[in-house]
């Protein structure tokens, strides 16, 4: 009989089940704002250097082809540059489940950091290499990093 009472008392002290607690609400808000901030920052951070990057695209195209880039092509390339980040985020979110199952949480975080480092190095060398295609590719890689 005493064994049953101890089970009941330990069961009742677990707290409310299925109810929103202050800790759960806080964790949910913090994680939501944290991931939203990272996503929003990486989508909007591209707007500040937009004129410089578009000039780089045009200069690179001019050096390759001997003529200035058409405004429609420049708009298309810039649209691709901006939109590749969310596309990479989509792929990153699909990759995270199998990667965590295979490599564990710490291993996945280490792999994820390598995406960030690779994208930063490639993006930093894109001006020296005179290629704007690498910038577009790096936006995909940064999206994968943010999506995990």
Asked whether residue 89 carries a pLDDT value surpassing 60, the answer given is yes
**Tokens 């001006």 label which residue?**
127
Asked whether residue 96 carries a pLDDT value surpassing 70, the answer given is yes
Q: How far is CA 141 from CA 22, 53, 75, 86, 100, in A?
A: 36, 18, 21, 10, 18
First to last CA, the chain: 51
46 versus 65: the higher-pLDDT residue is 65
Asked whether residue 141 carries a pLDDT value surpassing 90, the answer given is yes
Q: Considering the entire predicted model, what is its pTM?
A: 0.69
Q: How far apart are CA 74 and CA 48, in angstroms?
A: 17
8 A C-beta contact, residue 131 and residue 108: no
DSSP state string for 6-49: HHHHHHHTT--SSS--HHHHHHHHHHHHHHHHHHHHHHHTTTTT
8 A C-beta contact, residue 145 and residue 90: no
Q: What's the pLDDT at 146?
A: 86
């Amino acid at each position: 009989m005493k064994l049953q009472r101890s089970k009941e008392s330990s069961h009742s002290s677990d707290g409310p089940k299925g109810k929103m607690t202050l800790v759960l609400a806080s964790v949910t808000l913090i994680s939501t704002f944290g991931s939203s901030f990272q996503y929003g920052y990486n989508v909007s951070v591209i707007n500040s250097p937009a004129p410089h990057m578009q000039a780089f695209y045009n200069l690179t195209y001019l050096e390759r082809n001997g003529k200035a880039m058409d405004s429609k092509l420049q708009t298309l390339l810039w649209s691709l540059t901006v939109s590749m980040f969310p596309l990479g985020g989509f792929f990153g979110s699909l990759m995270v489940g199998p990667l965590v199952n295979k490599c564990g949480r710490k291993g996945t975080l280490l792999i994820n950091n390598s995406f960030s480092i690779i994208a930063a190095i490639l993006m930093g060398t894109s001006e020296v290499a005179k290629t704007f295609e690498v910038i577009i590719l790096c936006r995909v890689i940064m999206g994968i990093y943010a999506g995990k």
